[in-house]
Structure 1
Amino acid sequence: MSSNPDPSSPAARGAQGEDDDPQPQRPGFFARLFGTGEDAEAEESHVDHHPASGGANGTALPQFGMSNLRRMRVEDVMIPRAEIVSISCDDDLPALVRVFRDSGMTRLPVYEGTLDSPMGLVHLKDVALRYGFNGSHDGFSLRTMLRPLLYVPPSMPIGVLLQKMQTERTHMALVIDEYGGVDGLLTIEDLIEQVIGEIEDEHDIEEAQPWSREGEGRWLALARAPLDEFEAELGLSLSDVDDEEEVDTLGGLVFLLSGRVPARGEVVPHPSGVEFEVIDADPRRIKRLRVRMPKGAAG
């Protein structure tokens, strides 16, 4: 009669075949994001590699997904310096409240002298809890309420920055160029949107009507306004642009005319004489336009 070894004994464990080897431990979340080698390449090849198609603003539809955390750099996502809303550390409370109210922001970078000398950020909650908005502001000083900012290079992968923001519990970063000047700004929301798409909060009001008439020959329109419907409103054809691509939205037409995402305040002319003024845009898309008809045109 043969005896079987104790399953817990070294002999029994050594007698186990290769088929019984335990499964390798699964790498952690950030190890999977930033790992290198064949496994990382294989994982990335199966994620978010969908062909781009026309989006509501006429640019290629963004490819959202986890692979963006490794593929995209800070410079691809940042808000450019010209569009940064900030405040001087020497400003008083009414000025600070006015900037918060006009911009709709809850965090503002604070600088001394110029934006190239940043000191930190101020949070709306800190101001409200300490001073309120209707009380006395004697002795007010922005310097006493500053929170730390992150300073990052434009070449940093956005996944690395997201991990750094999470670790340091900071929601805003300034992008610093090679000369030490401020090149742009990022929030944690900007990074997360590259993975899951645009995040709309309670301040982002969805407008039912994609355009409204401002006056004689002038309209305010969302970039997502259907081009054919807006042409009917104007009584003028705008889609006869010599290009192989078809566009379905007003923003797509403006993108096609300019060949890029135009900056806020830029005026893009149409061959018919119609002018498109960019009222609201970010580095990745057009949001809102003012349309001006040429004098004597139908409308």
Structure 2
Amino acid sequence: MDDISTGILFALLACLIVISGYFSGSETGMMALNRYRLKHLSNSGHKGAKRVERLLDRPDRLIGLILIGNNLVNILASAIATILGMRLYGDIGVAIATGALTLVILVFAEVTPKTLAALYPERVSYASSILLSILMKVLSPLVILVNFITNGFIRLLGVKVSHGDDDHLSSEELRTVVNEAGSLIPRRHQDMLVSILDLENVTVNDIMVPRNEITGIDINDDWKSIVRQLTHSPHGRVVLYRDQIDEAVGMLRLREAYRLMLEKNEFTKERLLRAADEVYFIPEGTPLNVQLLKFQRKKQRIGLIVDEYGDIIGLITLEDILEEIVGEFTTSIAPSLSEEIVPQDDGSFLIEASANIRDINKGLKWKLPTDGPRTLNGLILEHLEDIPESHLSVQVSGHPMEIVELEENRIKLVKVFPKIKKAS
């Protein structure tokens, strides 16, 4: 080193600092990449993305390569800085060189390149991957040796070393990714994607039309009554039953009934029953994602939900499940949310007590409990543990509620106020 001029040593030191910054920025850029965008670009044929993906297949080797290069460069820079310090300032130059080099490396070889790499990870990674790929091939034996020693030491500490694929996302993590997409995915599409993820947490019981609201035709009624009900039915399909809904015998498409009406000689109860489809039964508690697939496989659009005793407790259609994903359609067996919830001038809402709590929460952005009763009527009855009187006021989950109308043994109409905010 004594034969090398001071100017050359300064130039060499500057080059080493630049190389150190390259290794530091490359490490940060590689680790800061969006792995899913990287995979997409790689599958699309992006050369830089393919290089980076190959390097990241073994992140332990990549980090080993970068740290080998970075430490070699920094140690050599430290030795050169010590020589320069002693040449310029004598023995005290060692301390001066140590302090000055620490500051220079910290600013120009660590903080600055790492900050830039964190801000522009793709630009840095794709460019640096060219040289890193070459170095990986050249220094492969040294990298493998260092990783072998390192992994052996880690195993001695009782830590399992695994190179398995741990990039899979859980439903909650995927939901977070969708919500954080921002303007890349329209808000409406984000809501739909999140709704699809929520299907597994919702059962057919949560969105079914309750038994008492199922409209059907008693095949034992007189013929004129049956014809009148068919003519005035607002639905595309109706349940045919004998005496009570539990004795369902078929699911009739109204267009089939209208076709039979045109054939006057063929329009009889027996012909009507033969034209009806077989009833499709669904066990209670079936998750919506499972039921959606069953509808698809069995080529069905409507089914009756039965409990463990075989009694019918509700009805669900394919449209009901699709509404959970895309929102309400204009045609539905159940009343729309706008019909069940009427805003009042005082900030309260008149709500049909038969309204589904999940629908209320979605429509009004409330957080009424959904782990118990499914309707507002059931929620209030569970809270009171008794059949209430009209105009009784209660507070449920922080929401003041006034019972406006009763019908027989159930609540029909409730006036609900927004949740009372606690004073800070």
Give me the TM-score of the superposition, normalised by structure 2: 0.39
Structure 1 window deviating more from structure 2 (99-108 vs 119-128): it is 99-108
Which residue does the alignment assign to 2:200? 70
Q: What is the RMSD computed on CA atoms of the aligned residues? A: 4.6
Whichever residue aligns with residue 404 of structure 2, its letter is F
C-alpha spacing 1:190/1:278, structure 2 compared with 1 (3 Å): farther
Structure label with greater radius of gyration: 2
Q: How far 1:140 sits from its partner (Å)?
A: 3.9
Structure 1 residue 276 corresponds to structure 2 residue 404: yes
Give the % identical residues. Answer: 23
Give, in whole Å, the separation in 1 of the partners of 2:220 and 2:352.
43
Q: Residues 129 and 44 of structure 1: is their aligned pair in 2 closer, same or farther, counting only changes over 3 Å?
A: same
Q: Residue 80 of structure 1 corresponds to which residue in structure 2? A: 210
Can you list the C-alpha shifts for 1:19-55, whole angstroms capped at 9, x where unaligned? 459x9xxxxxxxxxxxxx9524222444579xxxxxx
Partner of 2:343: 226
Q: In structure 2, which of residues 304, 308, 314 is the aligned counterpart of residue 178 of structure 1?
A: 308
What displacement does 1:289 show? 6.3
From the superposition, tell whether residues 89 and 204 of structure 1 become closer, same or farther in structure 2 (CA, over 3 Å). Answer: closer
The Cα offsets for residues 181-211 of structure 1, whole Å up to 9 and x where unpaired, read as: 11111111111111111111499999xxx9x
Q: Following TM superposition, by how much is the alpha carbon of 1:117 offset from its aligned partner in structure 2, in angstroms?
A: 2.7
Q: Indicate if the aligned counterparts of 1:227 and 1:249 stay in contact, CA closer than 8 A.
A: yes
Q: Map of 1:151-166 to 2, 5 A cutoff?
A: 151-166=281-296
Name which of 250, 264, 267 aligns with 2:350: 250
Q: Sort the Cα spacing of 1:178 and 1:225 in 2 relative to 1 into closer, same or farther, 3 A.
A: closer
Cα 1:182/1:79, change in 2 over 3 Å: same
Shift of 1:125: 0.4
User: More displaced, 39-48 or 151-160?
Assistant: 39-48
Name the structure, 1 or 2, with higher relative contact order (CA <8 Å, separation 6+): 1
Aligned in 2, Cα 1:136/1:186: closer, same or farther, shift over 3 Å? same
Structure 2 SS opposite 1:68:
helix
State whether residues 261 and 267 of structure 2, in contact with CA within 8 Å, keep that contact through their aligned partners in structure 1: no
SS in 1 for 2:226: helix
**Match of 1:276, as an amino acid?**
V
Report the number of matched residues: 204
CA contact (8 A) 1:92 1:140 kept: no
Structure with greater helix share of residues? 2
User: Any unmatched runs of 5+ in structure 2?
Assistant: 1-49, 58-166, 181-192, 356-368, 370-374, 379-387, 394-401, 416-424
Give, as a single letter, the amino acid of the residue that structure 2 aligns with 1:43.
L
CA distance in 2, matches of 1:269, 1:132: 52
Q: Distance in 2 between matches of 1:203 and 1:112?
A: 21
Unaligned ranges ≥5, structure 1: 1-15, 24-36, 50-62, 211-221, 229-238, 240-246, 280-285, 292-299
Moved more, 110-119 or 190-199: 110-119
- For the pair 1:107 / 2:237, whether they are aligned, the reply is yes
Where do residues 96-135 of structure 1 align in structure 2 (5 Å cutoff)?
Answer: 96-132=226-262, 135=264
Instruction: Give the whole-Å Cα distance in 2 for the aligned partners of 1:190 and 1:75.
Output: 12
Q: 1:120 to 1:46 in 2, by over 3 A?
A: farther
Cα distance, 1:160 vs structure 2: 1.2
* Partner of residue 56, structure 1: none
Q: Which residue in the other structure is 2:159 paired with?
A: none
Are the aligned partners of 2:350 and 2:414 in contact in 1 as well (CA < 8 Å)? no
Higher strand residue share:
1
Classify 1:102/1:139 alpha carbon distance in 2 versus 1 (closer, same or farther; 3 Å).
Answer: closer
Distance 1:120 1:48 in 2: 44
Q: Is the 8 A contact 2:237 2:253 kept in 1?
A: yes
Cα distance in 2, alignment partners of residues 138 and 160 from structure 1: 38
Structure-2 residue corresponding to 1:168: 298
